[in-house]
Structure 1
């Protein structure tokens, strides 16, 4: 107790001297300055006393380090959450792209099938055209041959007789029904 009182008095004297030496321009420190350890009087532990050591700045530093660790841990947790969200979004995008790819492959397969069917039909139609052209060519040759073989009439062509009109009695005309050409029998 006496030692603490003595230390307080020494501090007050130092502050007063500092005020005198600095003049009006200096400010008085609000808290008591901690003198270096070499200048402090050492107290020895007596029987029945408990030694208490103060960690001073280390306790604050440890608290700050703990708080910094907590902040770093929280920052890392947030980073992990962001990466998980990005991974989930990438998975969804991959699923969507795979579905689109499957749809395109299906459309491609259908188009290939349709192309092969149309090519087959085209070949069949070309074969039919070639057959018909060959038949036409053969028919023209036969017509030309037949025209060469038949004798040509000499002189003027004959006039054909006018078609004869056959008159029917009115009773028969009334009995006949008109032909319905638009209806298939």
Structure 2
């Protein structure tokens, strides 16, 4: 029983292969020219192009597409155009974003350089302040030491010394000539 079943399946396979071979032999009975014509040149796919593969069918529908087929083709063409526009728009946005990113990176680098310079200047100023504070402290100590060493006057100051100094200042002012600002030297 199994042998009969296998024989039936083999017969069916042979018949199917014969049908396939008959179809191929009828197509191959019309040989195609092997030499390419000089008018047809091979074109290679570039970026943004869509590869369209043509099927080898030579039926009536392939020669005269129906109205529905033409509408479908036109719809697909419009879809391809829309996608190409979207792609171009995305490329433009990408270029803009990249240029903005580059500008931000440049601004960041300049800010970092400025921060470094300002930190250095701050440290220098802090060092100068510390030096000046140390000098001020030292000057105060020296003034205190000098005040301790200087003899203090004992008793009341003389009253005559003050008018004599005022007279000398008046004579010096009187001896000076007025400035003639209107005369050019």
Query: Corresponding residue for 1:120?
Result: 120
Query: Corresponding residue for 2:133?
Result: 133
CA RMSD of superposed structures (Å): 2.9
Query: Corresponding residue for 2:95?
Result: 95
Q: Following the alignment from structure 1 to structure 2, what is the Cα–Cα distance between the partners of residues 87 and 93?
A: 10
SS at match of 2:121: helix
Larger Rg: 1
Query: Corresponding residue for 2:66?
Result: 66
Query: Corresponding residue for 2:162?
Result: 161
Structure 1 unaligned spans of 5+: 1-58, 181-185
Bigger mean CA deviation after superposition, 77-86 or 102-111: 102-111
Query: Corresponding residue for 1:39?
Result: none
Q: Following the alignment from structure 1 to structure 2, what is the Cα–Cα distance between the partners of residues 70 and 144?
A: 109
SS at match of 2:157: coil
Q: Following the alignment from structure 2 to structure 1, what is the Cα–Cα distance between the partners of residues 157 and 174?
A: 33
1:11-68 CA-partner distances (Å, limit 9, x unpaired) = xxxxxxxxxxxxxxxxxxxxxxxxxxxxxxxxxxxxxxxxxxxxxxxx9x99997222
Residue 78 (structure 1) aligned with residue 81 (structure 2): no
Bigger mean CA deviation after superposition, 160-169 or 115-124: 160-169
Query: Corresponding residue for 1:107?
Result: 107
Q: Following the alignment from structure 1 to structure 2, what is the Cα–Cα distance between the partners of residues 147 and 179?
A: 45
How high is the TM-score relative to the length of structure 2? 0.55
Q: Following the alignment from structure 1 to structure 2, what is the Cα–Cα distance between the partners of residues 77 and 155?
A: 118
What is the total number of aligned residue pairs between the two structures? 117
Q: Following the alignment from structure 1 to structure 2, what is the Cα–Cα distance between the partners of residues 157 and 144?
A: 23
SS at match of 1:161: helix
Q: Following the alignment from structure 1 to structure 2, what is the Cα–Cα distance between the partners of residues 107 and 128?
A: 31
Q: Following the alignment from structure 1 to structure 2, what is the Cα–Cα distance between the partners of residues 99 and 151?
A: 79
SS at match of 2:162: coil
Bigger mean CA deviation after superposition, 129-138 or 149-158: 149-158
User: Which contiguous aligned blocks of 4+ residues in structure 1 show a shift greater than 4 angstroms?
Assistant: 61-65
Q: Following the alignment from structure 2 to structure 1, what is the Cα–Cα distance between the partners of residues 181 and 121?
A: 41
Relative contact order, higher structure (CA 8 A, sep 6+): 2
